[in-house]
């Protein structure tokens, strides 16, 4: 934990002892559940702290000040959403994940930690993005290593209000510039623009980037396209 505190300081992240204790509980529960249910390929505590917890928390400096509504798309076992919810209890977060065992784990952590304004949606992004109860209702959308960026843009932008931001966590590798350029048509079609790209460095982890996309126009009603199409035929 002392090493982790130093890493937080390196990233200008300041968490109270109570929040660190909640993160410790999250790590313990993930490791325990992972013994019985394959939630993540990362199974060593040290790796979980860096590759899941710290990686998730690098989003903190980008989040709005004050309360906000957020949807975590393809949340998996709750990353980045759960660490962000612990760090920012004023966030109202929907964890969107199509795999039931993973939403079961998130629900378990929400209950164990007594997190409020946090709930799961065991559905697909293409389906939920056409639901008027969720469409254009969020200030922030996140996605971590879920899909190709043009596909992610189609998943995320329908959920955002005008002025909202989509934060995509991507590998900052040799293909990154090409992938970013490939998202240009999707951004123009769906009402978004890249506001910033932040490079993130974590110990023992390949270079990472936060792609911060702002929504400045309404998304046309025909998007997202039906299940599977955004992935099979990206814009």
Cα gap 186→132, rounded to integer Å: 21
Residue 67 has pLDDT above 80, yes or no: yes
Mean pLDDT over 48-57 rounds to: 95
Q: Categorise residue 209: left if φ over 0, alpha if ψ from -120 to 50, beta otherwise.
A: beta
Least confident of 6-10, 54-58, 59-63, 81-85: 6-10
Chain centroid offset of residue 51 CA: 13
Cα gap 132→228, rounded to integer Å: 20
Cα gap 215→219, rounded to integer Å: 9
27-36 confidence digits (pLDDT tens): 999 999 999 9
115-163 confidence digits (pLDDT tens): 999 999 999 999 999 999 999 999 999 999 778 999 999 999 999 999 9
Mean pLDDT over 64-82 rounds to: 97
CATH number, domain of 228, equals 3.40.50.150
Where in the sequence is the domain holding 113, given as residue range(s)?
2-232
Residue 2 has pLDDT above 70, yes or no: no
Question: Is the alpha carbon torsion for 12, 17, 18, 24 positive or negative?
Answer: positive
Query: How high is the mean pLDDT of the chain?
Result: 95
Mean pLDDT over 27-49 rounds to: 93
Are the CB atoms for 36 and 92 separated by under 8 Å? no
Reference 84, options 62, 63, 57; nearest CA is 57
98-123 confidence digits (pLDDT tens): 999 999 999 999 999 999 999 999 99
Residue 173 has pLDDT above 90, yes or no: no
Cα gap 154→114, rounded to integer Å: 33
Say whether pTM exceeds 0.85: yes
Using CA atoms, how far residue 30 sits from 1, 7, 24, in Å, is 17, 21, 10
Residue 6 has pLDDT above 90, yes or no: no
| Total count of domains within the chain | 1
Residue 1 is predicted with a pLDDT of 65
């Amino acid at each position: 934990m002392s090493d982790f505190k130093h890493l937080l300081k390196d990233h200008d992240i300041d968490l109270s002892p109570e929040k660190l204790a909640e993160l410790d509980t999250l790590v313990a529960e993930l490791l325990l559940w992972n013994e019985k249910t394959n939630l993540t390929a990362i199974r060593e505590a040290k790796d979980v702290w860096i590759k899941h917890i710290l990686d998730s928390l690098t989003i903190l400096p980008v989040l709005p000040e004050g309360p906000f509504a957020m949807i975590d798309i393809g949340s998996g076992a709750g990353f980045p959403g759960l660490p962000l919810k612990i760090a920012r209890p004023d966030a109202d977060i929907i964890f969107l994940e199509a795999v039931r065992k993973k939403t079961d784990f998130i629900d378990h952590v929400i209950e164990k930690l007594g997190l409020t304004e946090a709930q799961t949606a065991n559905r697909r992004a293409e389906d939920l993005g056409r639901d008027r109860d969720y469409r254009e209702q969020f200030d922030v959308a996140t996605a971590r290593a879920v899909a190709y960026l043009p596909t992610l843009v189609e998943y995320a932008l329908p959920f955002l209000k005008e002025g909202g931001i989509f934060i995509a966590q991507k590998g900052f590798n040799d293909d990154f510039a090409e992938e970013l350029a490939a998202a240009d048509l999707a951004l123009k079609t769906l009402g978004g623009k890249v506001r910033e790209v932040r490079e993130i460095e974590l110990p023992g982890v390949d270079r990472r980037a936060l792609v911060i996309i702002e929504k400045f126009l309404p998304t046309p009603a025909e998007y997202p396209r039906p299940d599977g199409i955004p992935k099979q035929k990206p814009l």
